[in-house]
Homo-oligomer: A and B are copies of this chain.
């Protein structure tokens, strides 16, 4: 039987009891004869607690030391999971990112995987052991411990599935799969049985927390069968499978999915910048990239540019925009922390010219003001006040997904 890579996130291994439950689930799959590689995140809030400790000893913790610190988190969860498996007589071996041969570049805190050696994984699999691998971490060519940044453990799992030629990669999380909206906001949200990679990337980029876009893109690129399952639901048939689009001769041969989701991302904020002249836009782009600040769904109009970015990058943006003002690139700027992006994701959705109009019409009827809007090939994104955004999601979901 083919190799399966499973990944369990921080909530799934958040307590000793949950670790024992995960061990039982692994044991069942192991008994079916599948070779298994299991990627784990740090337990629950361990990473946040370690970051808080770092902030208490240093105002500017060195990134190299931060990676050393944070990598302790998965070391704890993987050793505990391996012990729990041992306790129910499943032979298991835990391996760090370094021991697994997950070789990355040298960018601490946001390393990219270059290649995976995997020798120790392969020899443990040959001995019929379940191999537990620390997610989120690797080692550089200069033997420094690195971490992969946001979505790191999902990325570790897909990269391992690729390197080891796995039959599929299963991401276990605390929801049943990919929904058309956050079920906590929209109780009638639809659970998708299958969804194509490109729409999943859009959903993930625009606030659906279930998968990180980086891991979806990697799965698409290497044609890894990726699925999302609920750790707490033992029914293996529940979940979402990511599918490859049919790439026929003509675009008509492609399956169309219509609208697949309405997302809101409260972890983002809105930024408006008035440039001194339109020719400096490239400089602003370069400088934000140097500062590792993201620009999401940007809209330009003459000397003005607006976009979303990570809420936790607010102070870095303030500093950068202040510097750019001093240097004469920026005339004025506004960081609008009250406005968050709401997105409607669908299949070639924006090619319909009426889409943006219809969406704004629905929100207008619900008396929800829209700050700004933009559209790309597979999504329309609107700026909505954080106070109204849940109502806006419900209104749009009712109109486009429930009718």
Contact indicator B76/A58 (Cβ below 8 Å): no
Contacts of A99 in B (CB 8 A): 143
Kindly state whether residue A117 has any CB partner on chain B within 8 Å: no
Shortest CB-to-CB span from A197 to chain B, Å, is: 35
Kindly state whether residue A178 has any CB partner on chain B within 8 Å: no
Q: Are A19 and B57 in contact (CB under 8 A)?
A: yes
A79 touches B58 (CB 8 A): no
Would you give 23 A-B contacts (Cβ < 8 Å), ordered by A? A19-B57, A20-B57, A53-B76, A53-B80, A54-B80, A57-B83, A57-B87, A58-B80, A60-B86, A62-B82, A62-B83, A65-B82, A68-B79, A68-B82, A68-B94, A68-B96, A69-B75, A69-B79, A71-B75, A72-B72, A72-B73, A72-B76, A99-B143
Residue of B nearest to A86 (CB): B62
A59 in the interface (beta carbon within 8 A) = yes
Interface 1/0 per residue, A39-80 and B, CB below 8 Å: 000000000001001101111111011101101110110111
Q: For the complex, what is the distance from the CA of A58 to the CA of B84, rounded to whole Å?
A: 5
A245 to B75, CA, bound (A): 45
B-contact bits for A9-20, CB 8 A (1 contact / 0 none)? 000000011011
Q: Which residues of B contact A60 (CB under 8 A)?
A: 86-87
List residues of chain B with CB within 8 A of the CB of A69: 75-76, 79-80, 83
In chain B, what residue has the closest Cβ to A87? B58
The 7 closest A-B pairs by CB, nearest first: A16-B56, A69-B79, A58-B83, A72-B72, A68-B79, A58-B87, A57-B84
With both beta carbons as reference points, the residue of chain B lying nearest to A49 in the complex is identified as: B76
Give the dominant DSSP class at A's interface. Answer: helix
Q: Provide the bound-state CA to CA distance between A86 and B83, in Å.
A: 36
Q: Determine whether the beta carbon of B72 is less than 8 Å from that of A57.
A: no
A22 → B minimal CB distance (Å): 10
Nearest B residue to A22 by beta-carbon distance?
B57
B58 touches A86 (CB 8 A): yes
Quick one: copies of this chain in the complex? 2
Q: Judging by beta carbons under 8 Å apart, are B75 and A61 in contact?
A: no
Quote the shortest CB–CB distance from A69 to chain B (angstroms).
Answer: 4
A50-B62 contact in complex given A57-B87, A94-B68, C-beta closer than 8 Å? no
Question: Taking the nearest CB of chain B, how far is it from the CB of A334, in angstroms?
Answer: 33
Number of A interface residues at 8 Å Cβ cutoff, please give it: 40
Compute how far the CA of A209 lies from the CA of B79 in the bound complex, rounded to whole angstroms.
30
- Point out the residues of chain B lying under 8 angstroms from A53, CB to CB: 16, 76, 80
A22-B216 Cα distance, complex, nearest whole Å: 45
Contact with B along A97-117 (1 / 0, CB 8 A): 001000000000000000000
A67's nearest neighbour on chain B, judged by CB, is B79
Instruction: State whether A66 touches B83 (Cβ < 8 A).
Output: yes
CB contact under 8 A between A86 and B61, given known A75-B75, A80-B53? yes
Contact A80–B57 (Cβ < 8 Å) = yes
A66–chain B nearest beta-carbon distance, Å: 7
With beta carbons under 8 angstroms apart, the residue of B54, B65, B83 that contacts A65 is B83
A76 CA / B78 CA spacing, docked (Å) = 16
In the complex, the answer to whether A87 meets B59 with C-beta atoms within 8 Å is yes
A residues 130-176 near B (Cβ < 8 Å) are 143
Asked if A94 meets B76 with Cβ closer than 8 Å, knowing A56-B16, A58-B87, the reply is no
> When chains A and B are docked, how far (Å) is the Cα of A180 from the Cα of B152?
54
**A35 CA to B20 CA in the complex, in Å?**
47
Measured between beta carbons, the chain B residues less than 8 angstroms from A81 are: 57
Q: A17-B56, A62-B82 are in contact. List 19 more A-B contacts (CB 8 A).
A: A16-B56, A16-B57, A20-B57, A23-B57, A54-B80, A57-B80, A57-B83, A57-B84, A57-B87, A59-B87, A60-B87, A61-B87, A62-B83, A62-B86, A68-B75, A68-B78, A68-B82, A68-B94, A69-B83
